[in-house]
Amino acid sequence: MSKILITAFTLISTLGSLLAQNTLPARHFNLEKGLAINGYDPVAYFIQHKAVKGSQQFAVTDEGVTYYCSSASNKELFLKEPKKYEPQYGGWCAYAMGASGEKVEVDPETFTISNGKLYLFYHTWVNNTLNKWNKDEMNLKVNADKNWKNLYR
């Protein structure tokens, strides 16, 4: 009987640790009610080269973060390689992450793909941070990578 209890406790502890590890990144992501990129399809940025609203019908979850894809084929692509399609810096503004290390909201329609990675940016009618990123991308990216790593610890 004690072997069964020990085995059960070990399994429960292991499962709990695995679940905690899988949901840890979610707390760092830019989420609205658990949904990434305000419901935009992460795969569409790469395939269609534009921001496309996803659908709950094609929802997919990776490490506690839910994404809406716009089609079954995009959902399938995401499931094969989620890290390929996830936005950098948890979906926070890449410029702000590089300039100040801050988590700043984004406009999902303001983005760039660089070296196979998706970067999102804050954009209002008076401030488009993508333009600022483009002027100093190399330095801002180095800083953003460092700042994100420090925040993620």
pLDDT at 1: 53
pLDDT per residue over 38-81, tens digit each? 999 999 999 999 999 999 999 999 988 999 999 999 999 999 99
pLDDT at 84: 97
pLDDT at 5: 34
- Kindly compute the dihedral angle of the four CA atoms of residues 129, 123, 54, 34, in this order, to the nearest 10 degrees: 90
The two structure tokens encoding residue 121: 């940016």
C-alpha neighbours within 13 Å on the C-beta side of residue 103:
13
Task: Tally DSSP H helices, then E strands, for the chain.
Answer: 7, 6
Of the pLDDT bands very low, low, confident and very high (cuts 50, 70, 90), residue 26 is: confident
pLDDT at 16: 36
pLDDT at 25: 63
The two structure tokens encoding residue 16: 């709990």
Range 31-36 average pLDDT: 89
pLDDT at 139: 98
Whether 44 and 74 have beta carbons less than 8 Å apart is answered as: yes
User: What's the pTM value of the predicted model, to 2 decimals?
Assistant: 0.83
Of the pLDDT bands very low, low, confident and very high (cuts 50, 70, 90), residue 20 is: very low
Mean pLDDT score across all residues of the chain: 86
Assess whether pLDDT exceeds 80 at residue 12.
no
Which residue did the predictor score with more confidence, 131 or 12? 131
Of the pLDDT bands very low, low, confident and very high (cuts 50, 70, 90), residue 137 is: very high
Nearest in space to 92 (alpha carbons), one of 53, 33, 38: 38
- Kindly compute the dihedral angle of the four CA atoms of residues 44, 45, 49, 54, in this order, to the nearest 10 degrees: 40
pLDDT > 70 in the chain, percent:
83
